[in-house]
Structure 1
Amino acid sequence: MGILSRASYVIRSKFNAILNRAEDPTETLDYSYEQMRDELQQVKQGIADLTTQKKRLEIQKRRLEENVEKHNEQAREAVQQDREDLARRALEKKKSKMNQIEDLEGQIADLQNTQDQLVEKKDELQNRIDEFRTKKETMKARYEAAEASSRVSEAMTGVGDEMADVSRSIERAEERTEEMEARSQAMDELEETGAFEDALSDEDAIDRELSSGRTDREVDAELDTLKAELGKGDAEPEAEADGRESVAADGDVEPADEEVEAELEELRNEEDESS
């Protein structure tokens, strides 16, 4: 086998394999069924044309028969009038018309035979189409059942392309979910440890604590006012007095904290004088 022959053989085999993969048996069966129906329609059209032609010949035959009867009457009247020449001419025309009628009858008979044969073939073709239709539907049902069974088997075993895509999608979703869960837990942990400061605020932790203290003092002052209005403001809160006494009585302050304590005492005195 030469190089060109081998190349041609390989190309044909490859092309045939592609066609086999692309071919859908159900579509092929439907196409064949439609082709047979088209042939049946052509046969019916041929029978209709043939019948039309036969009817035309029959109409022409009836007209000739009417002419034959007319020529008969003409010949009789001519004989009654002693016009043998006219009678002869009428009979000659009658003879010609009868010959035409005989030819038409032969053509009509031939057309009738052809029509009968076509009708018989049409009926046979119709029966074949009906049988093919039954087989076609049976084969389509079997093919679809086999295809569905194959897909179910692939799905159960997970070897199908679609199931493989589904498995990969599930794996990616699980990985993404785990990543987001870990990130959320990390954010919560950083927030609990105070590692994040408010990005929109210039305050640090000390500023926030001082602000909280000012708020507490304002609340305490408003509470003292309410107690004074209600006659319960004759003495300052025990907890605050005890606190000052404990601070005043406490003389054992660590040397390292003496300066801080002194500064705090000055701040308290300033606060008392301002109040």
Structure 2
Amino acid sequence: MGMFSRMTDIVQANLNAMLDKAEDPEKVIRLIIQEMEETLVEIRSEAAKYIAQQKLFQRQQEKFQLEADSWMKKAELAMSKGKEDLARSALQEKQKYSEQATAVNDQLAQVEELLTNLQDDTSRLQSKLSEARSKQKALANRKQSATVRLKAKAVEHSNKIENAMARFEQYEQRIDNLEAQVEAYDLTARNDDNDTSLNAQFRELTANDDIDKELAELKQKYAA
């Protein structure tokens, strides 16, 4: 396929219709972008050749026009000196260069028209390329979002989560039991401490009674 034919197809392409018909839209849009980028490279290369031709034709046209003007001045000089034959010869040379300048001017016009068409096509193609890149990015974002959501849904409905939650509840129950045992020990210890305190007070009372009794016996003995 020639460059201009391919470029026309791309510029006129309806990207949405192409994607709707594609089995793999992501692959199609990637190929479209690649095709556009390659075509733009070829267009720039072709445009460079036309620009070089344009500059060459401009130089040639200027040269031929200068020659024609020069021979016109010579013809005028010859006529002013009364040399009609010489003036005729000068006009013939002038006509030759004028014809060459006209021919080159026609070629220059054709090249400039081609360059204008290339610029227009390039502008439209770049617009299509921007559209394709936007669609590629949108497709990639949608695919990434769908993939993540699908993974989340798969995890959400996985038996692993249910099993993990059940095991978590079992661990939680075991911890509750351990904490209950600790609280039971603390309660028992407090009761033991209370019992010990009461017994100590009664023993102290009994001990004081014994001391008072012995002290009274001593007082009675030595008082006698």
What is the match of residue 226 of structure 1?
none
Q: What's 2:151 paired with?
A: 151
**Contact 2:68 2:94 (8 Å CA) reproduced:** yes
Residue matched to 1:142: 142
Give a deviation string over 1:76-105, Cα, whole Å, max 9, x none.
232344433332221111001111111122
Tell me the secondary structure at the aligned position of residue 87 of structure 1.
helix
Alpha-carbon shift at residue 155 of structure 1 (Å): 4.0
2:75–2:86 CA contact under 8 A, matched in 1: yes
In structure 2, the residue matched to 1:123 is 123
Contact 2:47 2:118 in 1 (8 A): yes
Match of 2:92? Answer: 92
Q: Aligned partner of 1:114: which letter?
A: L
What is the Cα-based RMSD across aligned positions, in Å? 2.5
Q: Share of identical aligned residues, percent?
A: 22
Q: CA deviation at 1:153?
A: 3.4
Measured in 1, the distance between the counterparts of 2:24 and 2:113 equals 43
- The code of the aligned residue for 2:140 comes to K
Residue aligning to 2:168: none
- Larger Cα-atom Rg: 1
Give the residue type in structure 2 aligned to 1:45: S
Q: Matches of 1:84 and 1:150 in 2, distance apart?
A: 97
Q: How far 1:152 sits from its partner (Å)?
A: 3.2
Which has the higher relative contact order, 1 or 2, with Cα contacts under 8 A spaced 6 or more apart? 2
Residues 126-152 of structure 1 show CA distances to partners (whole Å, capped at 9, x for unaligned) of 111111111110011001111222233
* Residue type of the alignment partner of 2:115: Q
Q: Which runs of 5+ in 1 are unaligned?
A: 1-22, 164-275
Structure 2 portions without partners, runs of 5+: 1-22, 161-224
CA distance in 2, matches of 1:65, 1:46: 28
In structure 2, C-alpha distance between the alignment counterparts of 1:32 and 1:78, rounded to whole Å: 68
Alpha-carbon distance in structure 2 between the residues aligned to 1:24 and 1:154:
24
CA–CA distance in structure 1, aligned partners of residues 80 and 99 of structure 2: 26
Given residue 93 of structure 2, which amino acid in structure 1 is its aligned partner? K
Worse-superposed segment, 111-120 or 28-37: 28-37
The residue correspondences of 1:72-83 to structure 2 (distance < 5 A) are: 72-83=72-83
For the residues of structure 2 that align with 1:55 and 1:35, how far apart are their CA atoms?
A: 30
Residue of structure 2 in register with 1:35 after alignment: 35
- Which residue is equivalent to 1:57? 57
Q: Which amino acid aligns with 2:74?
A: Q
| CA 1:24–1:149: 2 relative to 1, 3 Å | farther
- Normalised to the residue count of structure 2, the TM-score between the two structures is 0.54
Distance 2:29 2:157 in 1: 31
Contact 2:29 2:132 in 1 (8 A): no
| TM-superposition CA deviations, 1:224-248 (whole Å, max 9, x none) | xxxxxxxxxxxxxxxxxxxxxxxxx
Higher helix share: 2
Equivalent residue number for residue 111 of structure 1 = 111
Alignment of 1:231-246 (within 5 A): none
5 Å matches for 1:1-275?
Answer: 26=26, 29-157=29-157
